[in-house]
Amino acid sequence: MRKRQVLISGGAGFIGSHLCDYYIQRGYKVWCIDNLCTSSIENIKHLGNLSDFKFIQEDLITFKTSLLKHKFDMVFHLASPASPPDYFRLPLETLKVNSLGTEKMLEIAKMSEAKFLFSSTSEVYGDPTISPQPEIYWGNVNPVGPRSVYDEGKRYGEALVMAYHRKYRVNTRIIRIFNTYGERMRLNDGRVIPNFIAQILDSKPLTIYGDGKQTRSFCYVDDLIKGITKMIEVDYHLPVNLGNPDEFTILQLAEVIQKITGIKAQIEFLPPLEDDPKQRRPDISKAKELLHWEPKVSLEEGLTKTLNYFRSLVPPPQWNRKQKKGGCRNETGRIR
């Protein structure tokens, strides 16, 4: 009997590697494509010797899809820089992987007659004027601001996915992921939870941009993976929010992290970031209705697991290592 085959772009990333684990554990053959630009081979190292796992180290923008002569059952497109420092550093790569990269993955799904899932983001709502944000809200995005390479890249990606669905009847899905955290995040990726954890473990002040009253909702990665894998199985093609509707200010997040670490860190306030959303909270009514899904892991429980993961790393990560400037280094592509 033929094993079902899954292709995951960005599969060595924080969320992608957990998705690889999910399908490997369920007996699928998993193909992972990643250029390791903002991800890590360590995230999938434990899968490297499995016959049902294939890693393709390639830049999706320049990748020749003819190298894949396999028929896939499901195609997940998760590849993209996702944190502000990464897409500020890699603006053109971010735009291209969400445009050219999305089209390549759609073509693979089209040729395979596979289910296709595009990983979009809550950033398509920009700095929202309503809260919580439902899928029918069109957003408040600055199309020429520094965050636009990610915001508009994902908005274009969504439009491209819907065009392939309408013109070619590709069996597509779109998820809009809200702030997610957990094991395998990079401590230097610039997002607030790894920032706080890195700072508190390094006995440094917790840095807050603005007054700390801006809000976010934080979804633990295990909950998100359950939502993604439920989404691919339903016959629904418009965007669906996946996130935790519990809303916290950044100051409240700092308090929770200090509580679970037992460390009373100082707080340092810095100037607010340009176009930084003041509110971010998903309306997950659609996910509840379609997927019978909602997050189960509380912020304190998820942060405790995340903190324990980072404390367990041996040798400890180079938390303060500076990112290289410029684009990604173009490694020689290989399949292994």
Catalytically active residues are 150
Cis ω on the peptide bond leading into residue 146 (within 30° of 0)?
no
Is residue 99 within 8 Å of 153, Cβ to Cβ? yes
Q: How far apart are CA 242 and CA 288, in angstroms?
A: 10
- Tokens encoding 282: 């998903």
Cβ–Cβ < 8 Å for 19, 76:
yes
The residues near 193 (Cβ < 8 Å, ≥ 6 apart) are: 179, 181, 185, 218, 253, 257, 303, 306
Rounded CA Rg of the chain: 19
Q: Report d(CA 197, CA 249) in Å as an integer.
A: 16
Pair of tokens at residue 164: 């392939």
Distance CA 220, CA 308 (A): 14
Cα separation, 334 vs 233, whole angstroms: 31
Q: Is 222 exposed, middle or buried (0-12, 13-18, 19+ CB in 10 A)?
A: middle
The SS3 assignment for 190 reads coil
Q: Considering only the C-alpha atoms of the chain, give the largest distance between any 2 of them, rounded to a whole number of Å.
A: 59
